[in-house]
């Protein structure tokens, strides 16, 4: 999913997530980048590709808008799991994948999320099971083959730049409250039913929620991107609703291999009047079995 480093509260099904006995700090140390814990105990690390200057249809994309790699770790007893999405340039894909395979990390998806962006970016979805610290070490070795920044980000000098949009109206239309991430307005909307992968719960912080991002482009306009998380019967109705409102469908694919229910991720893009685009997103969302706030 698309995707940005969104933080959601979630309750997991049994087995219960282990309390933080220091494992989260050890994961951050092994990965080379610290993250933060969600209320449900998942440790999520954002890895924005701030080193890249990417444009699409004349819009310079902020890292939090469409260039946000992330990894989410959970620990249950003596074992654990990591899921994530790595934003890579085309020449980084092969060396990163080689290291992932050597480190026992599965690649569950490799594809585009956008079209026409320069430089072109690919998105590699990953899954690992085992000791979270060892998984973090393997991921560090793989990410070192890219130019992903693995050092701690400097503390922001001030509050994030304001989002020059009517965010209250966006929240009301979409039925969820967003957050300002570096001038990008991000909204996450979980599906109503529980999501599992190979029998293990996959809560929203691990990439199972609908993700919608707004980046203001001036004059009441915004670029939008993200992904709808859909079951099969929802795919074509949602695509139709988006297209009817001038929103381009840019990719449709899986992010997981053993998910229950089987999910399809539909990515989108538009740059137009923010109110018009919000109405289009609303028309698509009513066709999806999302959790009611």
> What is the rounded average pLDDT for all residues in the chain?
92
* Residues 4-39 pLDDT 10s: 333 333 333 334 455 667 999 999 999 999 999 999
Domain positions in the chain are 23-143, 167-285
pLDDT at position 156: 60
Rounded average pLDDT over 130-135:
96
pLDDT band at 154 (very low <50, low <70, confident <90, very high): low
Dihedral over Cα of 122, 128, 134, 136: its sign? positive
- Predicted confidence (pLDDT) at residue 162 exceeds the cutoff of 50: yes
Rounded average pLDDT over 173-199:
96
Q: What is the pTM of this model?
A: 0.90
Rounded CA-CA distance 137/150 in Å is: 12
pLDDT at position 5: 37
CA proximity to 7, closest of 151, 291, 203: 203
Rounded CA-CA distance 165/209 in Å is: 23
176, two tokens: 């969820």
The alpha helices in 40-89, defined as continuous H runs, are 63-66
pLDDT at position 64: 95
pLDDT band at 1 (very low <50, low <70, confident <90, very high): very low
**φ, ψ (nearest 5 deg) of residue 74:** -135, 150
Quick one: DSSP state of residue 272? E
Per-residue b or e along 231-242, where b marks 16 or more CB atoms closer than 10 Å to that residue's CB: eeebbeebbebb
Rounded CA-CA distance 281/293 in Å is: 17
pLDDT at position 289: 98
pLDDT at position 277: 98
pLDDT band at 155 (very low <50, low <70, confident <90, very high): low
Q: How do 59-60 and 36-37 pair as beta strands?
A: unpaired
């Amino acid at each position: 999913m698309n995707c940005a480093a969104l933080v959601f509260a979630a309750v997991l099904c049994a087995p219960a997530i282990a309390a933080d006995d220091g494992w989260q700090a050890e994961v951050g140390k092994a990965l080379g980048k610290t993250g933060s814990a969600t209320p449900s105990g998942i440790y999520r690390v954002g890895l924005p590709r701030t080193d890249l200057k990417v444009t699409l249809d004349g819009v310079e994309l902020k890292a939090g808008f469409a260039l946000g790699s992330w990894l989410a770790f959970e620990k249950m007893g003596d074992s654990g799991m990591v899921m994530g999405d790595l934003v890579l340039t085309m020449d980084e894909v092969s060396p990163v994948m080689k290291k992932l395979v050597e480190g026992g990390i599965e690649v569950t998806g490799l594809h585009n999320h956008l079209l026409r962006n320069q430089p072109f970016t690919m998105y590699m979805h990953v899954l690992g099971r085992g000791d979270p610290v060892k998984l973090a070490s393997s991921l560090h070795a793989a990410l070192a083959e890219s130019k992903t920044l693995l050092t701690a980000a400097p503390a922001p000098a001030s509050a994030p730049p304001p989002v020059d949009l009517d965010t209250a109206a966006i929240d009301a239309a979409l039925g969820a409250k967003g957050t300002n991430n570096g001038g990008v307005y991000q909204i996450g909307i979980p599906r109503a039913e529980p999501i599992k992968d190979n029998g293990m719960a996959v809560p929203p912080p691990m990439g199972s929620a609908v993700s919608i991002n707004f980046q203001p482009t001036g004059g009441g306009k915004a670029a939008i991107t993200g992904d709808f998380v859909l079951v099969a019967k929802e795919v074509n109705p949602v695509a139709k609703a988006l297209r009817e409102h001038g929103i381009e469908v840019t990719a449709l694919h899986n992010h997981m291999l053993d998910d229950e229910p089987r999910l399809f991720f539909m990515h989108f893009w538009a740059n137009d009047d923010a109110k018009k685009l919000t109405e289009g997103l609303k028309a698509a969302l009513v066709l999806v079995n999302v959790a009611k706030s």
